Structure 1
Amino acid sequence: MQNKLSRFFIFFAVLMLQACAGQSHLVQDELETVTKEHLKYYLYYPEDYFKSENKEFGLLLFLHGGGESGRNVEEIKDTGPPKMLVEGKQFPFLILAPQNPHAQKWWNTDAVVQLLDSVTQANRVDKNRIYLTGLSRGGSASWELATQYPEKFAAMAVVCGMTPLPYAHWIDKEMPIWVFHGDKDDVINVEESDKMVDKLREMGYDVRYTRYKGVGHNAWDRAYTTDSLYTWLASKKRTK
């Protein structure tokens, strides 16, 4: 697949007060800014995809952690579903795994969604069966995506992600969520997930929580080898 170049535009008005000859003048202006993001990615097709020309498939968007950020896209294969694909695991849906090109920056979630939309439009993807998952920094980005695009995803699985508690108010209640975290995580404290899960449950959300005892930040090693996770994802579909 060819590399994709994602763009997005921000428009805003600037109001300035200028003092001139003892009088105030209101000046209105507009500035267009352009941000470009170069995203490398892997795209997996299930075996059945090429056996039927009409069937639509679900798609899982996977966002890696900070350790795989940078320019070497091969590092994406070190964790999560991409690692399992290398080991021979088959999945019932497409898997889109982009790389965050910035070692010390958060995910550009707007660019990720533009990539996701492009891949969705270019392939036989059921838009009601788009799933979201991420670990660590990618888990934090998953929470962010769920708040910014609440009607896009059919289900979400977050592994040891950091999340502001107010996000709970902006997530679609129709989207099931599964959270994984280790109680010995010394990078992103397990309380991040504890508090978010408690808040979501208090508000009536459909949330599963797997809290690993004695596990550190690498909770993804166990979370992504949980076969029932993929069965659970594949069973979800947006009804709106």
Structure 2
Amino acid sequence: MLIRQLISHLLLLGTVFLFQACSAQSHLVEDEAQTVTKENLRYYLYYPEDYFDEPSKDFGLLLFLHGGGESGRELLHIKKNGPPKLLIEGKQFPFLILAPQNPHEKMWWNTQAVNQLLDSVIDANRVDKRRIYLTGLSRGGSAAWEMATQYPDKFAAMAVVCGMAPVPYAHWIDRNMPIWVFHGDKDEIIDVEESDKMVSKLKEMNYDVRYTRYQDVGHNAWDRAYTTDSLYTWMAKQKRIN
């Protein structure tokens, strides 16, 4: 009972490699495997409090992609922002949270590797494939837009915080996927016009999109975005119809 209670409040530490499935564990572990591409993705995996109490229930899963400042070799850096930070502070979520780390400090996310990791975690756990959610901030927000175009049939909802948003991507995103965009109007790293133009295009194409444009907020719009409780309530309600 004690171990199970601890698991519900901790992040599961692991290491996964592209094209290698990682099995769920009932305690804190680190796994390694031989790879084809040698792309190493270490990650945290959070289980909701009732995951181990309801063995016949499937759960949703939120994939969180961090920003450039958390990239590199120190996995603990992921806990600085977003849902991982909230978990450390004691917040509970109704779904699993997968938070991989980009091992390259100066490179973009390898979204193919992220997708392989996501699939392995889904297959190894009781995850409802109709309730896979996607979010990212800054560099991770840009990667979230990219994943939404590369894997349009995978996600039930997406939230992007201050990410670069190539407008042509709008044509490739699933029209049935609700989207919530956050950006600060004083952002000096990724201009707010990135989100302005993307949201405008999505609305023009009749997508289900929300836009929270913070006044007098710089690049760290994630401080407010990820403490918006209604974001997670909204997300948990979304489910793919196919």
TM-score w.r.t. the length of structure 1 is 0.88
CA distance in 2, matches of 1:114, 1:174: 23
The equivalent of 1:6 in structure 2 is: 18
Q: Number of residues paired by the alignment? A: 215
CA distance in 2, matches of 1:3, 1:133: 21
The equivalent of 2:138 in structure 1 is: 136
Q: Find the partner of 2:171 among 169, 172, 177.
A: 169
Q: Which has the higher strand share?
A: 1
CA distance in 1, matches of 2:90, 2:228: 15
**Percent identity between the aligned chains?**
76
Please state if 1:216 is matched with 2:218: yes
What is the Cα deviation at residue 233 of structure 1?
0.4
Spell out structure 1 runs of 4+ moving beyond 2 A.
Answer: none
CA distance in 1, matches of 2:213, 2:14: 39
| 1:239 maps to amino acid | I
What is the Cα deviation at residue 7 of structure 1?
3.9
What is the Cα deviation at residue 164 of structure 1?
1.0
The equivalent of 1:62 in structure 2 is: 64
The equivalent of 2:127 in structure 1 is: 125
The equivalent of 1:27 in structure 2 is: none
Deviations 1:76-121 (A, max 9, x none): 0000000000000000000000000000000000000000000000
* Aligned-partner SS, 2:175: coil
Deviations 1:29-54 (A, max 9, x none): xxxxx522100000000001000111
CA distance in 2, matches of 1:132, 1:64: 11
The equivalent of 1:194 in structure 2 is: 196
Deviations 1:134-177 (A, max 9, x none): 00000000000000000100000000000111000000000000
Structure 1, unpaired ranges of 5+: 9-33
CA distance in 2, matches of 1:81, 1:207: 21
Contact 2:162 2:195 in 1 (8 A): yes
* Aligned-partner SS, 1:210: strand
Contact 2:186 2:215 in 1 (8 A): yes
Larger radius of gyration: 1
Contact 1:185 1:217 in 2 (8 A): yes
CA distance in 2, matches of 1:7, 1:87: 33
Deviations 1:200-235 (A, max 9, x none): 000010000000000000000000000000000000
The equivalent of 1:16 in structure 2 is: none
What is the Cα deviation at residue 3 of structure 1?
1.3
CA distance in 2, matches of 1:207, 1:35: 36
